[in-house]
Structure 1
C-alpha cells in the first residue's frame, strides 16, 4: 500500500504507528479546545450576561463552521498535504481560543467559535485521509478508530482540565490559554516528527481520474453511507442535548445516576470505536459494510429501550441500555470514515470524506432542535426516542443497499491467491 513513506525522528526512522499517535495527540488537543462551551456556559451567563439562546448558538457556530469547511475538503486535500493542513488548523484553532475568552461581545464570540469549528472540520477528514495512505486495509479500520477516540477523550479531558484551572486560578479565561499552549506544543511536535507519505499511485506519477463532486455523488456507497451518518450523528447530539433532561425532569432520576449514565455512554463510545475497528480489520478481514449495519441495528434496540425508561427503573438495566447506545451510536465514526474512504479511488477520497462530513454536520444541526420541538409538542421525550429508533431502521436499509468497499474485496482476493 505504501512505498517509500517514512517518519523521521532524529537519526531514526519510525513506523506508521508513530504517525497514528501524532494524529491522535493532535486530535485529542483539538477536541479539548473545541468542546468547551458546555463547560464554561455558567460563566458566559454570569460574567457576560449571555442568554441560553446565545450560549446554544455558540455550539451551533462550531458545527456551522465545520459544515462550511466540509465543502472545501476535496480541494484542500488536492492543494495541500496533511502536514501543512494540520499545522494550519492548529494555528487557526489557537487563534480562535485566544480571542474567545476575552471577547465579551456575542458577535465576536460567535465568529471565534465559527473559526474554531472551521479548523476542526478540516482536520478530521484530512487526518483520516492521511491514515488511509499510511495503513494497509487490514490495519486501517483500527488506526482510524484509535484516532477517533481522541474526540471523546478530548471532550472529557476538556471538562476536567478547565475545572482544574478554574479551581486553582479562579479565572476561567486562563483555561483557554493553557489549552492553546498544549495545542501549540502538539502542533510543534507534529511539525518536527511527521513527514507526509504519498499513496503509491501518486508516487508513480499516475494521473488517474480526479474525483469531483458530480462523480462522487453517483457513488451509492458515499451517498447512502453519508445519509446513515447524518442519522447517527444527529442521534448522537440529540442524546447529548436532551438525555440528561429526559432522566432528571421526566423520569425524576437523581443527578448522580444521570451523570453516571452519560459517563458510561461516553466510555462505551470510546470502547466501541476501537472494538468496531478491530473487528472489521481482524475478524472480517477488512470488510466494513456488515459492521456498519450491525451498529445501526443495535442502535435501534437501544433507542427503543430509551422510550421505555421509567422513574423507578433498575439502574443496572439503564446502564446496560446506555452502554449499548454508547457502543454503537457513539462509536460509529471510525468505521464510517473507513467505509467512506475505501468507497472510491484514491483521488476521490478527499471529496468523499468532505461529503460525509457535510452530511454529519447537517444531522448535528437539525436533529437536536427538531427533537426538542417534538418533545415540547408531544409533551414527552419518549416519542423522540421511538422516532429515532425508527429512523435508524432507515439507516440500516440504506446501508444494505451499498456494496462492500473495493479495497476490502481486493484484499480478500489476494488472500485467496496466497
Structure 2
C-alpha cells in the first residue's frame, strides 16, 4: 500500500509537465522545444539516478531507497515553485528528477521480496497503475489549480504533499526480512562488482532495455504533448484536452494491471507475447494520431485515446517485471536500475525530439516518426528471450 500511495503522489509531479505545459508556455513565453526540454531534463536525471539508486537499495535496503526517492523529489519541487527564470527552472526540474528516478528499483525490490512469481504480474501492474493514476490526477488537479492560481502554486502544492508522504514513511515504514538482509549485506558488498558485470553481459536484459527505451519514447511524448496536440491541432479546449490526457493516464493505469493479469493467467507467466501486442498497438496508435483530423467526432477520439493510454503508457509493468525476472533475487534493484537508466533515455529524448520536430515540420511527421520507432520496438521483441516459471 505504501508503494502504491507513494508512487501515485510522486507521479502527479512526474507526469505534471504535460498538464502544466500550456500554462508554463504562456507564463514563461516558451516554444514547444523548450517545453519538451523541461520534461526531457526531468527524465534525463531520472535515468542517470536509476542505476545508482538500485545499487543503494540492494546494499542498504528498501527503506533507505524510499526516503531518498520521496525526499529528493519533494524538496526540489518545493524549491522549483519559487523559480521563474527558465534556466534555473530547468536546473531544479533536473534535480527533482534525481529522486524520481529511484522509484523503479526501490519499489521493484520491495515488491519482488514480498510476492511469488504467480502473482508478481498483477502486483507489479497495480504498483505501475499508480504511476499513471498519478498522471490522471495531474491532468485534472494541476490544470484546475493552474487556471485559478497559476502553475507555480500547482507545483508547490504537489511538492508539499510529497514532503508530507516523506514524513509518514520516515516514521512508519520498515524493511521486510530485516535479519535476512543484514546477514547478506557483507556478501552483497563482496560480490557487487561481479554481479554488476553479469548484468552488463546479460544480452536479454540489454535487449529489453532497448525495447523499454523505444516504448519510453511513446510514453514521454504522449504524456508531454497529448494535451497540447488536442488543444492546438484538434481545436479542443484546455479542459477537454486535459480530460483526454486524464483518460489516457487512467487507461495506462488499467493497462498496467491488465497486461500483468493477461501475462499471468492467459500466457501462464510468459511476458514476450504481451510485449509484442503492446508494441503493435503503440505503432498503430502513433499512425492514428498522425492521421487524425479536427473534424472527426469527439466520441470517436475518446476510445482511441483509451488504446493510446493502454499501449503507449500501460507497458511499464511488464517491462519492469521482466527485468526483475532476468536477474538474481538479491540483485533485482540493480537490474531494474540498469534497465531504467537505458530505458529512460527514451523518456529524456522523446519530448525534446518530438517538440523540435513539431516546431519545424508539424504534428503529422512527428507522430509518423514515433510510429517508425514503435515498429522497430515490435521487431526487437522477436529477439527477446525471457524465462518462464513453473505453474
Instruction: State the TM bucket, normalised to the shorter chain.
Output: 0.7 to 0.9
Per the alignment, in what secondary structure is the counterpart of residue 222 of structure 1? helix
The answer to whether the 8 A contact 2:70-2:99 is kept is yes
CA distance in 1, matches of 2:156, 2:226: 31
Residue 131 of structure 1 deviates from its aligned partner by: 0.6
Residue 115 of structure 1 deviates from its aligned partner by: 1.8
- Residues 217-249 of structure 1 show CA distances to partners (whole Å, capped at 9, x for unaligned) of 322221111111111110122223444454554
**1:183 corresponds to:** 162
Deviates more, 1:127-136 or 1:254-263: 254-263
Which of 342, 350, 353 aligns to 1:367? It is 350
User: CA RMSD for the aligned pairs?
Assistant: 3.2
CA distance in 2, matches of 1:349, 1:124: 11
1:157-168 aligned within 5 A: 157-162=137-142
Per the alignment, in what secondary structure is the counterpart of residue 72 of structure 1? helix
CA distance in 2, matches of 1:149, 1:97: 23
Residue 399 of structure 1 deviates from its aligned partner by: 1.8
The answer to whether the 8 A contact 1:40-1:172 is kept is yes
Which of 65, 76, 88 aligns to 2:68? It is 88
Distance 1:312 1:404, change over 3 A: same
CA distance in 2, matches of 1:295, 1:135: 25
Per the alignment, in what secondary structure is the counterpart of residue 280 of structure 1? helix
Distance 1:37 1:124, change over 3 A: same
CA distance in 1, matches of 2:161, 2:223: 26
Over alpha carbons, which structure has the higher Rg?
1
Distance 1:189 1:202, change over 3 A: closer
Distance 1:255 1:172, change over 3 A: closer
Higher helix share: 2
Consecutive unaligned residues of structure 2, counting only runs of 5 or more, are none
1:327-342 aligned within 5 A: 327-342=310-325
**1:195 corresponds to:** 174
Distance 1:246 1:57, change over 3 A: closer
Residue 82 of structure 1 deviates from its aligned partner by: 0.9
Distance 1:45 1:299, change over 3 A: closer
| Higher RCO (C-alpha 8 Å, min separation 6) | 2
The answer to whether the 8 A contact 2:254-2:310 is kept is yes
Residue 359 of structure 1 deviates from its aligned partner by: 2.1
The answer to whether the 8 A contact 1:141-1:278 is kept is yes
State yes or no: 1:222 paired with 2:205.
yes
Consecutive unaligned residues of structure 1, counting only runs of 5 or more, are 1-20
TM-score, normalised on structure 1?
A: 0.80
Which of 332, 345, 362 aligns to 2:328? It is 345
The answer to whether the 8 A contact 1:62-1:117 is kept is yes
The answer to whether the 8 A contact 1:133-1:199 is kept is no
- Residues 118-174 of structure 1 show CA distances to partners (whole Å, capped at 9, x for unaligned) of 000012221112111111111111111111122222233235444565688x47655
**1:322 corresponds to:** 305
